[in-house]
Structure 1
Amino acid sequence: MPQTATKRLWLRRMGWLVLIWGLSVAALGLVAWLFRIFMGLAGLTL
């Protein structure tokens, strides 16, 4: 396999890894934000 193809494959895999990681962090932030809203509606505020 040529070096450019190997490098392109590595960059593509790293791109997917970063994309999945970013989406998981965003999803966790969304869930935390929703929990905060629901707890506020229930009267559980700091």
Structure 2
Amino acid sequence: MAVKETVDAENKPLWQRLGWLAVIWTGSVVTLGIFAWLMRLFMSAAGLSTH
């Protein structure tokens, strides 16, 4: 079964595989940005600052 999935993935067009890579990368960057913003918000609420 794993071999068939690998063959199917290799048969997909390059633009489609790169599109998924771009979607996953963008989602990761957005998630990290939200996490960093929330951490900064909580730190500010606790009286901590960066300067």
State the TM-score, normalizing by the size of structure 1: 0.80
Structure 1: gaps of 5 or more residues: 1-5
Q: State the aligned residue count.
A: 40
Structure 2: gaps of 5 or more residues: 1-10
**1:33 is matched with which residue?**
37
RMSD between aligned residues = 1.4
Moved over 4 A (4+): none
Matches within 5 A, 1:7-26: 9-26=13-30
